[in-house]
Amino acid sequence: MATELLLSTHALHKSFGAVIASEALSLQVRRGEIHALIGPNGAGKTTVINQLAGELRPDAGSIEFDGRNITAYSVDRRARLGLARTFQVSTLFDQLTVTENLSLGVQAHLGHSYRFWQRAGEDPALLAPVSALLQRLDLGALAEQRAGSLAHGDRRRLDLAMALAGQPSMLLLDEPMAGTGPESSREIAALIASLKGHVTVLLVEHDMDVVFSIADTISVMVSGKCIASGSPDSVRADPLVRQAYLGEDH
Amino acid sequence: MTITGRKRLLCTAGAGLLIFLPALAGFGGEPFMVSLFSRILIYAIAAVSLDLLLGFGAMVSLGHAAFFGVGAYVVAILAFHASQGAPPDAGLLSLAGTNNALIAWPLAVMVSALVACVIGALSLRTSGIHFIMITLAFAQMLFYFFDSLQAYGGDDGLSIWRRNDLAGLDLADDTTFYYVCLTSLGIFLLLCRRLVQSRFGMVIRGCAQNEQRMRALGFPTYRYKLLCFAIAGAGAGLAGALIANQTEYVSPSLLHWTRSGELLVMVILGGMGTLIGPVFGAMTLLLGEDVLAMFTEHWQLYLGPFLVLIVLTTRRGVYGLLIGRGGHGD
């Protein structure tokens, strides 16, 4: 079922006063693909992510995820359904250690947390997945450091690791490489590419080399509207896109 | 010595001092110390419960004395009914009285938790300065409620005939009562210690640091914070039940917002987010009051600057100072 849709939006509309951030937006993300959302600054990409994650409610239109209409679902309910996200500016628990940060990510998807006696720091049900994540994201050496003391690139990886902790079926990544050095960027890009086929990814990213090398599908947004959507080659060739976004000489 | 070593030494020394306090007080010919320290232990329970909110949940409640007062009134009203019979026209409150602590105290804890649940359910829809103001407003509403509750003394308060009966213990004996308070504090501290390290505690600490991320991870944060608020209210209710027994008298002043302020001072002075710190905070504040009052009637003039000094120069209050982590930035 290579063409099965995991997430789709139908005529999504969102405006802030006179500014229209999303207009008749219909995105279709297939299961297992890496879908990049690109567009110039102010095109409304983050607003889309926030509507998909539930931080913002659309003014009109609907969002369907995994066969359900989730338009009215709260942020935490969407997350428990397997729709995870990272933030443009890493939002971590700065006073907690890397292990504790990841542990919370795992805990969120292990049923309720009305457990008052057993120490979370000694709970094998939390520690085993955490150590697997530490290894996978190459954070093992930093396990006992406070998140607040990490370097920027490490923060980005921890942010991503926390989103992956709940074994989501879909990840919303809002500029996961923003502000990182070239080496960190490469590592993160490789990591995202390695998710292909396991986790569906909707990626907002400005680095076009990364986008065109790892994305299966690219949607282009300009002023709240999706002007093109398709394979990297078709998007690259699209005259509208060339005119509006990539520039004639690209 | 390591921080952990100093912590352990300090807690052992503190516990030892508290365990042998009645003997020491008797030996030193100052038996009133037992009663003063009972009061300190009771306030310590209330302060520790507030630390759950303030130090771990970053919920700055300026209404915590409401739950303290409600717990005290539950015990006092039950005792009043036991000796006078329930007033016929008291409506909802026309329940049978009791002097049995095993009934009255758990009931005080439950009623306080329930009241905290209601106040929390509304207050937790706000945050920051609004949360402070709304908890204050609810607490003041309860203050005026008891202030105008003529059936139970109104603003004169309500005297209790005698202390509760607790499983054959003679609570009228100050030393016995002291040990009941000490045991209660010990158990409450242990429960809170486990609580903050548990999965539930991690959720609360996560909410304090970044609630948006907690929701994005999939936690319905409101419910967890509400339960934390109710648990803290329950702790304050227990302290209230004990204070009603200690003074054998309750009055609306137990719920006054200045009392909530005192509890906040105890937590901040002792060391927020340490659980054991507020015990030192309660001790410092109440002993400071008592000692300074012996020398001058303007004791608040001297206590105030002292509190400011502690708060400005230490990061974890008195507790941080004692274990050697007082300075900023370490």
- Asked whether residue B217 is domain-assigned, the answer is yes
> Could you tell me which residues come within 8 angstroms of residue A84 by beta carbon, excluding any fewer than 6 positions away?
A163, A164, A166, A168, A170, A171, A172, B216, B217
- Asked whether residue B309 is domain-assigned, the answer is yes
Percent of the residues in chain A that have a pLDDT greater than 70, as a whole number: 96
Instruction: Provide the pLDDT for residue B173.
Output: 87
- Kindly report the CATH number assigned to the domain that includes residue B135: 1.10.3470
Instruction: Provide the pLDDT for residue A81.
Output: 95
Task: State whether B213 and A96 contact (CB < 8 Å).
Answer: no
Instruction: Give pTM, 2 decimals.
Output: 0.91
Contact list in B for residue A95 (CB cut-off 8 A) is 205, 209
How crowded is residue A78: how many other Cβ atoms within 10 Å of its Cβ?
25
Instruction: Provide the pLDDT for residue A57.
Output: 94
Instruction: Provide the pLDDT for residue B93.
Output: 55
Task: State whether B220 and A121 contact (CB < 8 Å).
Answer: no
Task: State whether B199 and A120 contact (CB < 8 Å).
Answer: yes
Contact list in A for residue B195 (CB cut-off 8 A) is 116
pLDDT tens, per residue, chain B with 330 residues: 677 888 888 888 889 989 988 888 888 777 788 899 999 999 999 999 999 999 999 999 999 999 999 999 999 998 888 887 666 555 555 567 778 888 889 999 999 999 999 999 999 999 889 999 999 999 999 999 999 988 888 888 888 888 888 888 888 888 899 999 999 999 999 999 999 999 999 999 999 999 999 999 999 999 999 999 999 999 999 999 999 999 999 999 999 999 999 999 999 999 899 999 999 999 999 998 888 888 888 888 888 888 888 878 887 888 888 887 654 433
Instruction: Provide the pLDDT for residue A250.
Output: 44
Task: State whether B216 and A87 contact (CB < 8 Å).
Answer: yes
- Asked whether residue B189 is domain-assigned, the answer is yes
> Could you tell me which residues come within 8 angstroms of residue A149 by beta carbon, excluding any fewer than 6 positions away?
none
Instruction: Provide the pLDDT for residue A145.
Output: 94
Contact list in A for residue B212 (CB cut-off 8 A) is 55, 91
- Asked whether residue B308 is domain-assigned, the answer is yes
Contact list in B for residue A126 (CB cut-off 8 A) is 199
> Could you tell me which residues come within 8 angstroms of residue B33 by beta carbon, excluding any fewer than 6 positions away?
B21, B24, B25
H/E segment holding residue A200: strand A200-204
- Look-up: residue for tokens 């520690």? A127
- Asked whether residue B251 is domain-assigned, the answer is yes
CA atoms within 13 A on the CB side of A171: 31
> Can you give the residue range of the structural domain that contains B23?
3-322
Distance CA B236, CA A140 (A): 42
- The answer to whether B44 and B278 are in contact (CB under 8 A) is yes
Instruction: Provide the pLDDT for residue B90.
Output: 54
Question: How many A/B residue pairs have CB atoms within 8 Å?
Answer: 96
CA nearest B263: which of B246, B281, B251, B276?
B281
Q: Report the residue of chain B nearest A109, measured CA to CA.
A: B218
- Asked whether residue B329 is domain-assigned, the answer is no
Instruction: Provide the pLDDT for residue A78.
Output: 96
Instruction: Provide the pLDDT for residue B329.
Output: 39
Instruction: Provide the pLDDT for residue B328.
Output: 42
The encoded tokens of residue A13 equal 């509309």
Q: Which amino acid is at B235?
A: G
Q: Report the residue of chain A nearest B213, measured CA to CA.
A: A91
HEC string for chain B: CCHHHHHHHHHHHHHHHHHHHHHHHHHCCCCHHHHHHHHHHHHHHHHHHHHHHHHHCCCCCCCCHHHHHHHHHHHHHHHHHHHHCCCCCCHHHCCCCCCEHHHHHHHHHHHHHHHHHHHHHHHCCCCCHHHHHHHHHHHHHHHHHHHCCHHHCHHHCEECCCCCEECCECCCCHHHHHHHHHHHHHHHHHHHHHHHHEHHHHHHHHHHHCHHHHHHHCCCHHHHHHHHHHHHHHHHHHHHHHHHHHHCEECHHHHCHHHHHHHHHHHHHHCCCCCCHHHHHHHHHHHHHHHHHHHCCCHHHHHHHHHHHHHHHCCCHHHHHHCCCCCCCC
B202, B221, B224 ranked by CB distance to A100: nearest? B202
- Asked whether residue B330 is domain-assigned, the answer is no
* Fold of the domain spanning A5-82+168-246: Rossmann fold (3.40.50)
Q: Which pLDDT tens digit goes with each residue over A102-127? A: 999 999 998 888 888 888 988 999 99
How crowded is residue A29: how many other Cβ atoms within 10 Å of its Cβ?
24
What is the rounded average pLDDT of the residues A160-184? 91
Q: Report the residue of chain B nearest A102, measured CA to CA.
A: B217
For chain B, how many structural domains are there in total?
Answer: 1
Interface test with A, best of B194, B203, B211, B213 (most A CBs within 10 A): B213
Q: Report the residue of chain B nearest A50, measured CA to CA.
A: B216
Instruction: Provide the pLDDT for residue A245.
Output: 66
B198, B213, B215 ranked by CB distance to A118: nearest? B198
